[in-house]
Structure 1
Amino acid sequence: QENIRLEGIIQERTAEIRKQKEELTDSIEYASRIQRALLPHNKLMEDQNIEHFILFRPRDIVSGDFYWMASKNEKLLIVAADCTGHGVPGAFMSMLGMTFLDEIVIKSEITQTDRILESLREHVITSLKQSGKSIQESTKDGMDMAMVCLDKKNRTIQFSGAYNPIFLVRELKPEERSGISQGEEIELPRGSIRSETHILLQIRGDQMPIGISEKHIPFNATTLADEGYNMYMFSDGFQDQFGGPQGKKFMSRNFKKLILDLQDIPLKDQGARLERILLDWMGEISQIDDILVMGLRMNP
């Protein structure tokens, strides 16, 4: 009799837990729809003849990675960001980031990437301090990001980064190919690599986040002429993913080689190939973090 009563209680509790889980999942899925609605539409890039792809794979239903863009004064501003955490905490931070960027850029005339990152950092710090957390706790909150300002009129790219770099890939120039064939080596910036046909330049971001940190100095901006670059902005999710025969991380150096290997196909098709390679790499291993990779190219 007692066993029957206990079984009844267990079944009742199990049903309650199942119902709570369903309600929670429904709420998170609704939050996911809101988050995706906030993400910019690709039409903004299409209207400006920016060839592109966006590989966006949240680990959970909602994502701590986000991308953002806005057109201002005949320039296109684009962000790829990675917020602290994933799932619900990361998603809250990402929505904060998108909202603040709208406020900073759309309501002002600022298009300089370093000034935008500095303003965003102040917004985030103010909101985190108001959350009631201590400074020590708040240093764990924030976001890493890469931001570009594409000026099609003057054919320039301006970049600023909070930890995150950007990769710029171009074909080798005839004189570079000629030098290589004669045994000369091209001097490349730190972190950059080349193949037989292309160079991948890594432009490093500042080593501090958008948020509270011990290092608090102005962000830098790098401006360069567009030389027909394919540009790549990304979070660390792809590089940190475990997989392969030995279940190891993909790693940054392999990611760079992979980007160079993609140059035999049009940029707009590279996202689909990247995703196939990622899924093959993962095999049966679960995705460990949100994944975001964006490819951009300014067409004439």
Structure 2
Amino acid sequence: MSDELADLKKENAKLRLEANLRKSLANQLERQKKLANDAKSELEEKHRDLISSLNYAARIQRTILPSEQAVQQVFPGSFIFWRPQNIVGGDAYFMRSSGPQGGAMFGVYDCTGHGVPGAFMTLLAERALDAGVETSKDHEDSPSRAGGILTHVDEFIRAEVNANDKASSNDGMDAFLLDYRPGETSFYAAANFKVFVQTGDGFTELESDEASIGYRTESGEAPPSYRTSPLDLSQATSLVIVSDGILDQKGGAKGLSLGRRRLKGLLEEAVTEDAGVTRLDGAGLMKAIEQYQGDEEQRDDMTLIILSLQT
């Protein structure tokens, strides 16, 4: 009888131990669950704060962009597509009035990186472009003004961002700048940028300097100088300006980059004619580009601007 009682006590002790272990485990699981929920709530709050900050930064970045109304006054019927990869980005465009005949300096630029770092670079680039336009106002008739402004921007960014050879940063941008002169020959300068001139239903790519803007040069290497080229727009229908975020976007059945050849084909397909007037359907063009992209993620900031040259 005593042995049975001892066995019963042992069994009861074992059951109490198991119950205590289960209770302890349940408490630990509950604590871990609470910690996980608290961490999730904290992450969600930080994510909301981050998105809110980025949205506010996007509003600030948009203030440096010319309004659509201002662009339409100079280039009626134009189309602008501007979509940063991460709410803010390194693509931007620029316009300042120039000359007495309703002309303008119109630029598009693609800075190093995207997101917040790219957006900071666009602010510096806008400041440099603005300074270049202002300092060259006394030479508005100069046929080399556009290239001179890009050279000024190159010097500005190298001095402000990349002056220290030991610094880890080496940032810059690609750019296109049009010195638009209605009723006469216009001029342009381009630093590693893709621009197409539409004449009727055909498209011709403009030549561009290969050197980007603002990056550090090697010891003993001369900084780049950007040429200005004449541009006869008297027979042109539009100018199509694209950042590399459009050209490098992957898509299609094989996941290949869009590239210049495919883009040119889409441009030709987007040409429309209404009452004898040939135009380029910007919205239709972007729809075709997005269809090519399909389910692929956006890889970079994307800018496509069609400057209409027909009234």
Q: TM-score, normalised by structure 1?
A: 0.82
Number of the residue aligned with 1:117: 150
**CA distance in structure 1 between the partners assigned to 2:193 and 2:297 by the alignment:** 24
**What do residues 101-129 of structure 1 show as CA deviations (whole Å, max 9, x unaligned)?**
22221464155110000111111111113
**CA distance in structure 1 between the partners assigned to 2:109 and 2:80 by the alignment:** 13
Among 96, 109, 120, the alignment partner of 1:81 is 109
Number of the residue aligned with 2:191: 162
Number of the residue aligned with 1:195: none
Number of the residue aligned with 1:181: none
1:268 offset after TM fit, Å? 6.7
Number of the residue aligned with 2:292: 281
Instruction: Give secondary structure in 2 for the equivalent of 1:161.
Output: strand
1:213 offset after TM fit, Å? 4.2
Number of the residue aligned with 1:211: 214
**CA distance in structure 2 between the partners assigned to 1:281 and 1:231 by the alignment:** 22
1:287 offset after TM fit, Å? 1.1
**CA distance in structure 2 between the partners assigned to 1:134 and 1:73 by the alignment:** 43
Aligned positions of 1:171-182 closer than 5 A: 171=200
Work out whether 1:134 is the aligned partner of 2:160: no
**What do residues 110-157 of structure 1 show as CA deviations (whole Å, max 9, x unaligned)?**
551100001111111111136x6736x443x11101111110142x22
Query: Aligned letter for 2:266?
Result: L
Instruction: Give secondary structure in 1 for the equivalent of 2:108.
Output: strand
1:59 offset after TM fit, Å? 1.4
Query: Aligned letter for 2:225?
Result: P
Query: Aligned letter for 2:269?
Result: D
Say what the alpha-carbon RMSD is for the aligned residues. 2.2
1:246 offset after TM fit, Å? 2.0
1:8 offset after TM fit, Å? 2.2
Query: Aligned letter for 1:11?
Result: N
**What do residues 208-228 of structure 1 show as CA deviations (whole Å, max 9, x unaligned)?**
111124462311111132232
**CA distance in structure 1 between the partners assigned to 2:242 and 2:78 by the alignment:** 13
**What do residues 43-87 of structure 1 show as CA deviations (whole Å, max 9, x unaligned)?**
223323544111112211112111111102232111111111111
Among 199, 204, 219, the alignment partner of 1:201 is 204
Cα 1:224–1:9 change in 2 (3 A) is closer
- Tell me the matched-pair count: 270
Runs of 4+ in 1 over 6 A off after TM superposition: none
Instruction: Give secondary structure in 1 for the equivalent of 2:270.
Output: helix
Cα 1:267–1:127 change in 2 (3 A) is farther
Among 245, 249, 252, the alignment partner of 2:253 is 245
Query: Aligned letter for 2:106?
Result: I
Cα 1:80–1:31 change in 2 (3 A) is same
Work out whether 1:21 is the aligned partner of 2:19: no
Query: Aligned letter for 1:163?
Result: N
Cα 1:23–1:99 change in 2 (3 A) is same
Among 134, 144, 147, the alignment partner of 2:177 is 147
Cα 1:18–1:133 change in 2 (3 A) is farther
Comparing both chains, which one has the higher relative contact order based on Cα–Cα distances under 8 Å and sequence gaps of 6 or more? Answer: 1
Unpaired runs of 5+ in structure 1?
A: 172-197
Instruction: Give secondary structure in 2 for the equivalent of 1:211.
Output: coil
Number of the residue aligned with 2:12: none
**CA distance in structure 2 between the partners assigned to 1:280 and 1:286 by the alignment:** 12
Structure (1 or 2) with the larger CA radius of gyration: 2
**CA distance in structure 2 between the partners assigned to 1:275 and 1:199 by the alignment:** 18
Unpaired runs of 5+ in structure 2?
A: 1-26
Q: TM-score, normalised by structure 2?
A: 0.80
